[in-house]
Amino acid sequence: MNCRDFEMNVRALVRTELLDGAQRDLLLGHAKTCLQCTDRLAAEQGLVNGVGAVVAELSEQKASAHVRSALLTAFREQTSTMADNRVIPMPLKVVRHWRLEAAAAAILILVSIAAVLWIYSRSPTEKQVALTAPSLPVTAETPSAPAVGNNVIPEPATANHSRSRHRAARRNSMTNEEVTEFYPLMDGVDLDSLEAVQAVRVELPASALNDLGLQTDRGTPTGPIKADVLLGQDGFARAIRFVR
């Protein structure tokens, strides 16, 4: 037994832990012969006694009653909060559905607005197209190609099903119009030889008739006069007819 062994076992010696009689006697015998280990044993013994005294002193120490009451109050509040939270999932679910529906409605509204804007943004062009509805390219495979002299403006070859109702009404009104035959605007132009022409509805001042070399009388309106101008692929006007 040396001081190191004593140090390793002094705690167990004082606390009577896991030591048999022979080992205890060895440790106590060493303590009697070693002043340093005697002091060490005394200090350890004093520590154990002191700890025991503190434990005994504090054994009945507890938190005061107001801590308990405060905790019980907090527990009740927590319980009530939890009870409220248990009810929350249902409304949350409803809110989540409501949000989905609102999002869907918003998307629908946006799409509708975009569609309306698209339609109105196309209106001037379409108006022109509608006015020039018979002005679609006249191709060989188009049986209703606008022959010069036809009194009826042919239906467009490619009807757009999405066109609005007022365009259809306008088309109907156009079919009731009286038109003259096409007058060539350029000498020597054979209108039948044109592969593709485009008719553009225009409004001309009545004085323009005179410029074209047409005779006007008093019965000729002084306001704008409607006319369809046939344009060739090069964009030059080839012929004109008047509409009443």
Partner 1 sequence: MTPTTLSDAELLRLMVAGDESAFAALYDEHQGAVYRFALLMSGTANIAEEVTQEVFLFLVRESHRYDPGRGSLPNYLYGVARNYVLRSFKRERPYVPLLEDMEETQEISSTRFLAAEDPLDDYSRNEVIKLVRRAVLTLPERYREVVVLCDFQELSCAEAAAALDCPIGTINSRLHRGHAMLVKKLRSVAKVDAKSLDSQALRCFA
Cross-strand bridge partners of residue 201: 228
**Nearest approach, Cβ of 118 to partner 1 (angstroms)?**
56
Nearer to partner 1, 37 or 239 (CB): 37
**Nearest approach, Cβ of 14 to partner 1 (angstroms)?**
7
CA distance 161 to 85: 56
Residue in 29, 47, 181, 206 binding partner 1, rule: CB under 8 A = 47
Nearer to partner 1, 25 or 203 (CB): 25
Nearer to partner 1, 34 or 157 (CB): 34
* Per-residue tokens: 193: 């030889």
Q: With binding defined as CB under 8 A, does residue 207 bind partner 1?
A: no
CA distance 11 to 18: 11
> Site residues for partner 1, window 78-117 (CB under 8 A)?
78-79, 82-83
CA distance 132 to 230: 10
Burial (0-12, 13-18, 19+ Cβ within 10 Å), 219: exposed
Residue in 4, 18, 20, 35 binding partner 1, rule: CB under 8 A = 35
Nearer to partner 1, 43 or 116 (CB): 43
Nearer to partner 1, 51 or 152 (CB): 51
Q: Which amino acid is it at 175?
A: T
Q: Interface mask (CB under 8 A) for partner 1, residues 14-33, using x and -?
A: x-x-------x---x--xx-
Nearer to partner 1, 63 or 140 (CB): 63
Q: Which stretch binds partner 1 (CB under 8 A): 43-51, 154-162, 183-191, 229-237?
A: 43-51
CA distance 225 to 220: 9
Query: Got the DSSP string for 109-176?
Result: HHHHHHHHHHHHHHHHHHHHHHHTGGGS---TT-TT---TT-SSPPPPSS--TT--HHHHHHHHHHHT
- Give yes or no for a contact between 29 and 1, defined as CB atoms under 8 angstroms apart: yes
* Per-residue tokens: 207: 């004085």
Q: With binding defined as CB under 8 A, does residue 46 bind partner 1?
A: yes
- Number of C-alpha atoms within 13 angstroms, CB side, residue 85? 6
Nearer to partner 1, 53 or 107 (CB): 53
**Nearest approach, Cβ of 88 to partner 1 (angstroms)?**
16
Residues that bind partner 1 (CB under 8 A): 11, 14, 16, 24, 28, 31-32, 35, 38-47, 49-51, 53-55, 57-58, 61-64, 67-68, 70-72, 74-76, 78-79, 82-83
